[in-house]
Amino acid sequence: MRKTIIVSNRLPVKISEKNGEFTLQSSEGGLATGLGSIYREGNNIWIGWPGLEIEDPKQQEKVTKQLRQMNLMPVFLTQEEINNFYEGFSNETLWPVFHYMGVYARYEQSYWDAYHQVNQKFRDIVLQIAGPGDIIWVHDYQLLLLPGMIRTEMPEISVGFFQHIPFPSYELFRLIPWRAEILEGMLGADLMGFHTFDDTRHFLNAASRLLPVNTTANVVSYNDRAVVVETFPMGIDYDKFASLGNNPEVQEHLKTLRENFREERLVLSIDRLDYSKGIIQRLQAFELLLQLHPEYISRVVLYMIVVPSRDTVPQYKELRDDIDKLVGNINARFRTLSWHPIQYFYRSFPVEMLSALYNFADICLVTPMRDGMNLVSKEYVASRNNNDGVLILSEMAGASKELSDAIIVNPNNLGAITRAITDALNMPLPEQQRRMRQMRQVVSKFNIHHWVKLFMTRLAEVNEMQQNMLAR
Ligand code: GDG
């Protein structure tokens, strides 16, 4: 029977181990929810790294059995592979270049070799499972070589690829020593998707300048195949965030927030620890606000959650220290006996707490330097059932293309962010509602289920087109 195979770096599961026994818990991330309707069906399957280093073959066998019951298939990685493929090439080479931070990038041959080798490891597992007529959907920048590797072995199989982070302009992309190999790998797909038109255009431009291809509109002709490159802005599980507000646990958190912030307006900021998210600049803009507008002292609080991430990579460690320092300075400089300007948390919270914060915050401040999409901004919008609240959103986030009723800012312009905060604090309720209603319509219609359906339908159409071309 024909099956669908999802492949991503991480499996949608949290595994913990105690005395040789494994506990598995499905993760509730947006992508996992959206693809849940696919990989849980019939003999479909999701292939990826389970997120835990397991060396003993017996233990590997045991956990594989447990995962297979959930339609998941593990790719086990050694510590060295994690260091060089994941932290190395994926996060110290591709991530900075693709987020326009070329100065942070390291071009190490050993990283590239590991990246190639781990993509082959993924390919081997895919080949164990895939049969003629199956559909394979590969996700994200850790697996850019995989579509090409699968294509070499199974020339007729249907392969889709979606990139969750930006695709940079040619001038950035060309910096990577292995740029042609990367493009060739990606062009193994039949259908390639990006969040925005700019990313799509940048990819097409890079392909036509670096490879002997023919590009017309959104089709790249390469090796006698036509690869379709299109824009699919990813959505969120709108219904989940819109209804979470009624959950008793969320209500409980809301009550506490109301008691703790009687007098103050709340500005919310939520990100993974990452230099692409503009956390330092956001803090500087908030500092400028307190400096220029002392009337907000004791009246506004920045509630900042930074979720630990990649903290073994040197730049991330440094960033964490810089944030600690800056938060300390601002709090020391402006605090009063009863008020702290910044409530800073370096940890993750359960989704119920997130929902309470989305419901409670007057403003959600999302100012990444670059972001493929940014789901936090969409989750805030989906949570605002009363249609009030203001979203301040960076023009460098993919989401800004859809959420044009946010206050859109250039994240490098601290003065503009500061003005946006004062505008938001003073925005009349009818204007908040007009903007929020528009944004809620977009987020509710173009939700995660819509996104999955659109991509899969398009992949089937493209596959049919390929078959017809081959038959000719
Ligand atoms: C990549 C791209 C693109 C955050 N803190 C907590 C928590 N979160 C959840 C949010 C949101 C997700 O994490 C973060 O998603 P983003 O889209 O904002 O950012 P990345 O992780 O960088 O994701 C990005 C995305 O892929 C999808 O294509 O939008 O541009 O970089 O869902 O809710 N969840 C919980 N506790 C927290 O403390 N439970």
**pLDDT tens-digit map of 44-74:** 999 999 999 999 999 999 999 999 999 999 9
Atom of ligand 1 nearest to the CA of 347: 38
Atom of ligand 1 nearest to the CA of 372: 30
Q: Is the pLDDT of residue 467 over 90?
A: no
**What does the mean pLDDT of the chain come to?**
95
Of 93, 235, 269, 73, give the one whose Cα is nearest residue 164.
Answer: 235
Task: Please tell me the total number of residues recorded for the chain in this structure.
Answer: 472
Cβ(20)–Cβ(59) below 8 Å: yes
| Tokens 């996700």, located at residue | 139
Tens digit of pLDDT for each residue in 291-302? Answer: 999 999 999 999
List all residues whose CB is within 6 A of at least one atom of ligand 1.
Answer: 30, 164-165, 234, 270, 272, 305, 307, 348-351, 354, 371-376, 379
Decide the pairing of beta strands 4-10 and 219-222: unpaired
CB-based burial of residue 212 (10 Å sphere; 0-12 exposed, 13-18 middle, 19+ buried)? Answer: exposed
Specify the higher pLDDT residue, 365 or 217.
365
| Residue having the nearest C-alpha atom to atom 32 of ligand 1 | 375
- Please report which confidence band the pLDDT of residue 27 belongs to, taking 50, 70 and 90 as the band edges: confident
Q: Is the pLDDT of residue 136 over 90?
A: yes
Tens digit of pLDDT for each residue in 313-330? Answer: 888 999 999 999 999 999
- For residue 317, the model assigns a pLDDT of 92
**Residue 396 C-alpha to ligand 1 middle, in angstroms?**
16
| Tokens 């905060």, located at residue | 421
| Tokens 């907000």, located at residue | 296
Atom of ligand 1 nearest to the CA of 397: 30
CB neighbours of 175 closer than 8 A, spacing ≥ 6?
A: 97, 102, 105
Q: Is the pLDDT of residue 29 over 80?
A: no
What is the complex's ipTM, to 2 decimals?
A: 0.99
**Residue 31 C-alpha to ligand 1 middle, in angstroms?**
10
Which amino acid makes up residue 27? S
Of 223, 172, 216, 167, give the one whose Cα is nearest residue 192.
Answer: 167
Q: Is the pLDDT of residue 472 over 80?
A: no
Tens digit of pLDDT for each residue in 328-352? Answer: 999 999 999 999 999 999 999 999 9
Helix (H) or strand (E) holding 351: helix 351-360
- Please report which confidence band the pLDDT of residue 229 belongs to, taking 50, 70 and 90 as the band edges: very high
In testing the pocket of ligand 1, which one of 33, 238, 370, 376 has its CB within 8 Å of the most ligand atoms? 376
Phi, psi of 339 (to 5 degrees): -140, 135
CB neighbours of 393 closer than 8 A, spacing ≥ 6?
A: 366, 367, 374, 377, 399, 400, 403, 406, 407, 408, 409
- Residues 134-147 have a mean pLDDT of 98
| Residue having the nearest C-alpha atom to atom 26 of ligand 1 | 164
- Please report which confidence band the pLDDT of residue 36 belongs to, taking 50, 70 and 90 as the band edges: confident
**Residue 51 C-alpha to ligand 1 middle, in angstroms?**
17
- For residue 465, the model assigns a pLDDT of 85
**Residue 90 C-alpha to ligand 1 middle, in angstroms?**
18
**Residue 210 C-alpha to ligand 1 middle, in angstroms?**
32
CA dihedral sign, ordered 444, 449, 455, 461: negative
Tens digit of pLDDT for each residue in 394-443? Answer: 999 999 999 999 999 999 999 999 999 999 999 999 999 999 999 999 99
In testing the pocket of ligand 1, which one of 373, 378, 448 has its CB within 8 Å of the most ligand atoms? 373
| Residue having the nearest C-alpha atom to atom 30 of ligand 1 | 372
CB-based burial of residue 318 (10 Å sphere; 0-12 exposed, 13-18 middle, 19+ buried)? Answer: exposed
- Residues 133-157 have a mean pLDDT of 97
**Residue 216 C-alpha to ligand 1 middle, in angstroms?**
34
- Please report which confidence band the pLDDT of residue 464 belongs to, taking 50, 70 and 90 as the band edges: confident
- For residue 324, the model assigns a pLDDT of 97
**Residue 80 C-alpha to ligand 1 middle, in angstroms?**
26
CB neighbours of 111 closer than 8 A, spacing ≥ 6?
A: 84, 85, 88, 89, 92, 93
**What are 221's two structure tokens?**
């002709």
- Residues 225-237 have a mean pLDDT of 96
**Residue 211 C-alpha to ligand 1 middle, in angstroms?**
34
Find residue 16's DSSP bridge partners: 23
First to last CA, the chain: 26
Atom of ligand 1 nearest to the CA of 371: 30
pTM for the model: 0.96
**Residue 212 C-alpha to ligand 1 middle, in angstroms?**
37
- For residue 175, the model assigns a pLDDT of 97
- For residue 66, the model assigns a pLDDT of 95
Helix (H) or strand (E) holding 220: strand 219-222
- For residue 311, the model assigns a pLDDT of 79
Tens digit of pLDDT for each residue in 96-125? Answer: 999 999 999 999 999 999 999 999 999 999
